[in-house]
Amino acid sequence: MDLGLRDRVFIVTGSTRGLGLAAAHQLVEEGARVVVTGREQESVDKAVAELGGPPRALGVAADNADGSTPERLIAAARARFDRLDGVLISVGGPPAGAITAMADDDWRDAFESVFLGALRLARSAASELTEGGVIGFVLSASVREPFSGLGISNGLRPGLAMAAKTLADELGPRGIRVVGLLPTRIDTDRVRELDELSGDPAAARERNAAAIPLRRYGTPEEFGKVAAFLMSSAASYLTGVMVPVDGGAMRGL
């Protein structure tokens, strides 16, 4: 199936590693061009090279918590590629820990990056996109059920999902879609780091995989394919949806 992504242009934040990079890879493979972001210039440059260099990828060192980031990213996309078709907003996971162990500053920092930074970019993109545009949020299964030891994520991501759902209502009349992805155990550095917090990462991985109907962690490539589909015109009648990428791990409908 042709996803209709050839020469489309997307901003993909947090795309120097993990799920963001996996999504950028699949978008480029389908013929799209991407603006990739991360906080460190070195990691941005590495991701651009991995994605095929300047013909297909432009790198911008940027922090989602910085209020100037949306304007910089949109301007960069238009300057290099002369168009913008969508944004995929992927942010790093906030610090792990119980709610009772998190200080106010931990919550404020995470809110600025995970919540407000994501909404700020979505608002800015909404003012630039035209009919057929799409805004995607890489969230987490914690939107629907809490993860042990991830108190801040459990607190912020459900609210961001509801804001995305509301944004879909607001932008739908203009032909702009808003979608979300809810990964669980995808085999990324972040998930490996969480497994290591148990003190026995191998046992944690075995235990977690046993709770997934497919009995394994997902691969970044599998996640990237779902992300590319949702961002494409092949998904043109999907908006306001939160799509689990979880191997069946979530038990609710």
Q: DSSP H helical segments within 2-150, as ranges?
A: 18-29, 41-50, 69-81, 104-110, 118-128
Q: So what's the architecture of 9-187+220-244 in CATH?
A: 3-Layer(aba) Sandwich (3.40)
Q: Is 196 helix (H, G, I), strand (E, B) or coil?
A: helix
Structure tokens, 245: 């990428």
Element (DSSP H or E) covering residue 90? strand 86-90
What is the rounded distance in angstroms from the CA atom of residue 18 to the CA atom of residue 189? 7
Q: Provide the whole-model pTM.
A: 0.95
- Adjacency order of strands within the sheet including 86-90: 57-61, 33-38, 9-12, 86-90, 134-138, 177-183, 242-245
Point out which residues pair with 34 in neighbouring strands: 10, 57
What is the rounded distance in angstroms from the CA atom of residue 232 to the CA atom of residue 85? 10
At a CB cut-off of 8 Å and minimum separation 6, what does 46 contact? Answer: 16
Structure tokens, 182: 């809810």
What is the rounded distance in angstroms from the CA atom of residue 77 to the CA atom of residue 234? 23
Chunk the chain into consecutive blocks of 10 residues (it has 253) and report each block's average pLDDT, rounded to whole numbers.
94 95 97 96 96 95 93 97 97 86 93 94 97 97 89 94 97 98 92 86 91 95 98 98 94 80
Map out the domains of the chain as residue ranges: 9-187+220-244
